[in-house]
Structure 1
Amino acid sequence: MAEKNEPVFIMFSAEHFAAIIVLFLSLFLLFMFKKKFKIHSKKLVLFERLFALSLLIMELLYHAWLIRIGRWNLIDSLPLELCSISLIMAIFLLWTANKHIYDFVFYAGIGGALQAMATPVLDLSFPHFRYFHFFYTHIGIIITALYFTWVKGYIPTFKGIIKTLVMLNILLPIVFAVNYIFQGNYMFLKAKPVNESLLDILGPYPWYILSLEVVAIVIFVVLWLLFRDWGWGMIRQKFKG
């Protein structure tokens, strides 16, 4: 909760739209200059690891801030939210370039981070550190997934959707157990967030959890259809031949 004299985040405010603009501008620049990234491929590993370190440092600073102000606790500070898990996976992806990790970051990472960008569960606004942490890490997840798609040439597959769904459903009982033990609400499996979110239109508890599974499948399929390899290169080669 925001304390006295601290900037309170308001959804769809100028600060919110500014963060969304930064996201789309970053993705636009990444897409436009993806070929130049490939030209300097020998330097990409250094870039990837520096970006991974920046995400890790930002997350560590967030936890240090929570500890300093006395807000870190087992109820809501463990990295068990979907975007927290996606952030950890994105850091590992940047460091290892593992294609199995890519599947999770691409589907769960983009899906979760986009929803978080649209309806942030955030109490503090610009210029507070928490504002920068929230949007930097969520934008970082999306950029990581699309960097590996556009620059590194990784291709999302339908099999990747299945693997991501299996992993998420393996995580669910673990998070349920943690919520029960510590009386938490990680992944919003115990209750909906207080502020407006996608969950508000998915029915009451616990049915919105099942609805969320359907939404996840739809989002993952849409992402797959948008970014899958349609074989345009092969088609162009045939026409040239």
Structure 2
Amino acid sequence: MEPLPVDRFVPYGPSHWVLMVLIVAGSVALPVLGHRNRDPRTTTLFTRIFAVVVLAFNVPLLIYQLLPAQWNIAESLPLQLCDFAWMVAAYALWTRQPLSYALVYYWGLTLTPQAMITPALDAPDFPNIHFIQFWGQHLLVIWAAAYLTWGVGMRPNWRGYWFSAGVTLVWIAAMLAFNAWAGTNYGFVSRKPDNPSLLDVMGGWPWYLGVGVAIGLAAWALLTWPWTRTPRESGSAARTGT
């Protein structure tokens, strides 16, 4: 008797929509909660609890994927940008260090949502462990970025912008070198994912890397500019009605 087929995750199927709603709900609820409780001790306690939650969710799953039975050099190593994002998110929540926050802000509000809109997930649907890992990992990073920005009141600046750009470019270069050596495709920097994604409209390799970097840096600049306008600029805009 043949085994029953395992239900696969289907982009924009029921589970995908439920998670998208959950992401939006958490991204609104957590900042509201943080904004209403600005007592320094309460904020420190909550952000550190949040950091522990991020670690408690991700570390066991990281250990699991490194076990001999699960080992696969193409997928098991924590080299994806989302892997670095949850690590940095935990550190930023615990310390509220500006440069670590900047990485969470830019990665969490642009690259992570893109990965969730066009998920490269070839796995069974919920409650499969790979499904839970993929979505939980991304969801917590987005929530952390929203909470630190609109709940705690941290703000990006141009120093954080250039730092994040430099770190991201170094990561891309490192993944290109590692992928060439190991025959892998971490970060999809060596070839496009099989599933449809925004990379499909950016040309072939390596052109889509340059286009993606240019678009990403422009988007990050737009996400920085409103927070860095001087009071004089804001007042002038108000007087002119713009």
| TM-score bin (small chain) | 0.7 to 0.9
Alpha-carbon offset, residue 4 of structure 1 = 6.4
Alpha-carbon offset, residue 32 of structure 1 = 3.0
Q: Which amino acid aligns with 1:115?
A: Q
1:47 alignment partner, SS class: helix
| Cα contact 1:155–1:229 (8 A) shared by 2 | no
Confirm or deny that 1:98 pairs with 2:107. no
Unaligned 5+ runs, structure 2 = none
Q: Distance in 1 between matches of 2:55 and 2:84?
A: 12
Alpha-carbon offset, residue 229 of structure 1 = 6.0
Choose 116-125 or 41-50, whichever is displaced more: 41-50
Q: Distance in 1 between matches of 2:4 and 2:97?
A: 45
Listed one character per residue, the Cα deviations across residues 12-41 of structure 1 (whole Å, up to 9, x for unaligned) are: 1111011010011112212333332214x3
Q: How many pairs align?
A: 233
Partner of 1:132: 132
Alpha-carbon offset, residue 106 of structure 1 = 0.6
Listed one character per residue, the Cα deviations across residues 144-168 of structure 1 (whole Å, up to 9, x for unaligned) are: 1121112222111233222211111
| Cα contact 1:157–1:228 (8 A) shared by 2 | yes
Listed one character per residue, the Cα deviations across residues 47-76 of structure 1 (whole Å, up to 9, x for unaligned) are: 222222222232223234434583322222
Q: Distance in 1 between matches of 2:37 and 2:130?
A: 31
Choose 10-19 or 101-110, whichever is displaced more: 101-110
Q: Distance in 2 between matches of 1:229 and 1:4?
A: 59
In the superposition, the TM-score normalised over structure 1's length comes to 0.86
Give the % identical residues: 26
Q: Distance in 1 between matches of 2:35 and 2:70?
A: 44
Listed one character per residue, the Cα deviations across residues 85-111 of structure 1 (whole Å, up to 9, x for unaligned) are: 111111111122111111111112321
Q: Distance in 2 between matches of 1:140 and 1:92?
A: 13
| Cα contact 2:33–2:151 (8 A) shared by 1 | no
1:143 alignment partner, SS class: helix
- CA 1:18–1:225: 2 relative to 1, 3 Å: farther
| Cα contact 1:86–1:104 (8 A) shared by 2 | yes
Q: State the superposition RMSD in angstroms.
A: 2.6
| Cα contact 2:35–2:152 (8 A) shared by 1 | no
Q: Distance in 1 between matches of 2:92 and 2:194?
A: 32
Partner of 1:155: 155
Partner of 1:8: 8
| Cα contact 1:63–1:72 (8 A) shared by 2 | no
- CA 1:17–1:157: 2 relative to 1, 3 Å: same
Choose 122-131 or 13-22, whichever is displaced more: 122-131
Alpha-carbon offset, residue 129 of structure 1 = 2.6
Confirm or deny that 1:57 pairs with 2:63. no
